[in-house]
């Protein structure tokens, strides 16, 4: 905030918010709903890549320590900086250059999440068309059942109108739907393991150990994508009635443990059902004519359709802030200069939907998108929180021994995030190279 240095605020003070009144239970559900998304479909494939249940659990538990730590650090950093947004906290503590890097990563990450959402919706539409059309489809599906047509039609008629409003007031109603859809999917996968998917010959042979350490480490981007709720952490913390660090730590632990339970059950039973043949999207491994799976596809697709406008809204707000800083001094009609005006808002919305739709139709595999998002998510889960911790404790009256321990933890967090980003970037490059050679 203007006129304040980072060190002028302690943990006893609360960041300025418009109307902090969020209950602790509400904060848990918002974080849980933010994390439980399209990544749920990818966890059985991640268990396969890790080499089995035991290695995957070990990697997940190690990651969970840093995931919870990142949320706690962000609450602490929000108290010290007095900012109420993620990018504001990073810019206030680490300087404007790092703040601009945070904004750029924010835009790219939300853009790729939108691509992943559309890809998931498109896959489920394709399977639904297969199950609803009478008889066996011919080798080339009819034009009205082609994913390029159905996804484009849904984007134009449903997603675009839902994303255009200035304020998305119905966001609060999607939390229950998204959570129920995720829990229903986990329950279905568990039940299908014991009953056996219809029309499948069950003889999976799960791998017992990863073929290499590289393969095991490749799971980290998937975990980052699945558990990422850190972008919303600062806003949630600043909206809470009780903003003590200990209370925020309890909220963080409860929300991520509940999320870990749903993800782990889905990963274990999905992997044990299909073994090494599991798809990157677990629902694509099941037959298209199973009624229970059809319901799961519809629920999950509807949930993702209602979440997409929220992601677009967050990305558009960052672009509008950049527009406001860069272009509002230019002369011209106010409707063109005002980033919150109808013309600019609709233009940015159409551009966002068009770009993400084109990328979703061009990228052939959901796992490629997950790897990219997981790598970028490492900035929000590990790198930026680590930097914020290092900068924040430098301005706080802390004992030298505690300060040294916190600095070491911040450095470790930054190094781990850098490793995950580098590994996922190299893996994505190799995948693209192999695709080009093919």
pLDDT of residue 138: 52
Across the range 309-316, mean pLDDT stands at 82
Give the count of alpha carbons within 13 A of 73, CB side only.
Answer: 30
In angstroms, the Cα distances linking 205 to 48, 51, 89, 208, 275 are 11, 11, 48, 9, 5
- Say whether pLDDT at 355 is over 90: yes
pLDDT band at 9 (very low <50, low <70, confident <90, very high): very low
DSSP of 118-131: HHHHHHHHHHHHHH
Among candidate residues 247, 208, 296, 193, the one with its CA nearest the CA of residue 20: 247
**Which of the residue ranges 29-38, 173-182, 297-306, 380-389 would you say has the lowest mean pLDDT?**
173-182
Is the full-model pTM beyond 0.95? no
**Which of the residue ranges 36-40, 135-139, 239-243, 370-374 would you say has the lowest mean pLDDT?**
135-139
Are 76 and 392 within 8 A, CB to CB? yes
Q: What percent of the chain has pLDDT over 90?
A: 15
Give the count of alpha carbons within 13 A of 108, CB side only.
Answer: 16
What the block records as the tokens of 262 is 């749903």
For 375-420, how does the pLDDT look when each residue is reduced to its tens digit (9 = 90+)?
788 889 999 999 999 998 877 777 788 888 889 999 999 999 898 8
Q: Give bridge partners of residue 240 from the DSSP assignment.
A: 22
CATH topology of domain 17-437: Sodium/glucose cotransporter (1.20.1730)
Are 239 and 30 within 8 A, CB to CB? no
- Say whether pLDDT at 169 is over 60: no
pLDDT band at 296 (very low <50, low <70, confident <90, very high): confident
For 40-66, how does the pLDDT look when each residue is reduced to its tens digit (9 = 90+)?
888 898 888 888 888 888 888 888 999
**Taking the domains of the chain in order of start, what are their residue ranges?**
17-437
**Which of the residue ranges 159-168, 326-335, 375-384 would you say has the lowest mean pLDDT?**
326-335
pLDDT of residue 4: 37
pLDDT band at 328 (very low <50, low <70, confident <90, very high): low
Separation CA 50–CA 334 (nearest Å): 54
**Which of the residue ranges 95-109, 289-303, 377-391 would you say has the lowest mean pLDDT?**
289-303
């Amino acid at each position: 905030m203007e006129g304040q240095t980072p060190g002028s605020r302690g943990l006893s003070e609360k960041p300025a918010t418009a109307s902090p009144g969020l209950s602790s239970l509400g904060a848990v559900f918002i974080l849980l709903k933010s994390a439980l998304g399209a990544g749920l479909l990818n966890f059985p494939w991640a268990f396969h890549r890790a080499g089995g249940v035991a290695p995957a659990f070990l990697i997940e538990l190690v990651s969970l320590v840093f995931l919870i730590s990142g949320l706690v650090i962000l609450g602490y950093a929000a108290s010290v900086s007095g900012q109420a947004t993620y990018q504001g906290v990073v810019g206030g503590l680490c300087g404007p250059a790092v703040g601009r890097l945070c904004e750029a990563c924010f835009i790219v990450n939300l853009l790729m999440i939108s691509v992943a959402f559309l890809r998931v919706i498109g896959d489920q539409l394709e399977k639904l068309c297969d199950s609803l059309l009478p008889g066996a489809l011919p080798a080339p599906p009819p034009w009205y059942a082609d994913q390029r047509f159905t996804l484009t039609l849904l984007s134009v008629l449903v997603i675009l109108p839902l994303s255009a409003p200035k304020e998305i007031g119905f966001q609060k109603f999607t939390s229950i739907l998204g959570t129920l859809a995720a829990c229903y999917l986990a329950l279905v996968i568990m039940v299908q393991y014991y009953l056996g998917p219809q029309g499948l010959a069950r003889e999976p042979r799960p791998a017992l150990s990863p073929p290499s350490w590289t393969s095991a480490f490749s799971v980290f981007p998937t975990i980052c994508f699945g558990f990422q709720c850190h972008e919303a952490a600062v806003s949630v913390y600043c909206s809470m009635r009780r903003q003590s660090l200990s209370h925020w730590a309890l909220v963080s632990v409860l929300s991520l443990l509940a999320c870990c339970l749903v993800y782990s059950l889905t990963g274990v039973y999905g992997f044990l059902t299909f073994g090494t043949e599991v798809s990157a999207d677990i629902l694509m491994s099941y037959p298209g004519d199973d009624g229970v799976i059809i319901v799961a596809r519809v629920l999950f697709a509807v949930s993702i359709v209602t979440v997409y406008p929220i992601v677009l809204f967050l990305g558009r707000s960052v672009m509008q802030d950049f527009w406001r800083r860069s272009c509002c001094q230019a002369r011209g009609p106010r409707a063109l200069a005002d980033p919150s005006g109808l013309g600019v808002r609709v233009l940015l919305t159409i551009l966002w939907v068009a770009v993400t739709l084109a990328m979703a139709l061009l990228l052939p595999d959901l796992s490629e998108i997950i790897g990219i998002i997981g790598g970028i998510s490492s900035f929000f889960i590990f790198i930026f929180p680590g930097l914020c911790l290092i900068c924040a404790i430098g301005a706080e009256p802390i004992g030298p021994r505690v300060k040294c321990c916190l600095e070491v933890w911040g450095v470790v967090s930054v190094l781990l995030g850098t490793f995950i980003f580098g590994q996922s970037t190299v893996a994505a490059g190799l995948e693209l190279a192999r695709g080009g050679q093919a």
